Amino acid sequence: MRAPILVSMAAAAGLLAGCQTITPEQRRAADERQCLDYGFRRGTSAFATCLQRIDLNRDADRRAFLYGDAGWSGPGPYRRWYGPGW
């Protein structure tokens, strides 16, 4: 009787541990580490550009997730030829 309960609690703990969010400070540190790995030096305009591009890419990914492919989802005269499968 105890084994199924322990297994289910361990599974629930594992699922909840996978749902952790990252703080803005942790995200910034990861972005800086990525730019340093690319070879940019702190305090340079190239380093700032690298951070900016990472942030812009993150925003673009977020917008793409929110809106999906809204331009191709409705009916239209070209849907048959230029739909999602082209």
24 sits in the region (left: phi over 0; alpha: psi -120 to 50; else beta) called: alpha
Question: 51 CB contacts (<8 Å, ≥6 apart)?
Answer: 31, 32, 35
Give the pLDDT band of residue 81 (cuts 50, 70, 90): low
Look at residue 55 in the predicted model and tell me its pLDDT: 97
Two tokens, residue 39: 């070879």
Per-residue pLDDT tens over the stretch 43-67: 999 999 999 999 999 999 998 888 8
Model pTM? 0.59
Per-residue pLDDT tens over the stretch 8-53: 877 777 666 667 788 999 999 999 999 999 999 999 999 999 999 9
For the beta carbon of residue 50, count every other beta carbon within 10 angstroms. Answer: 19
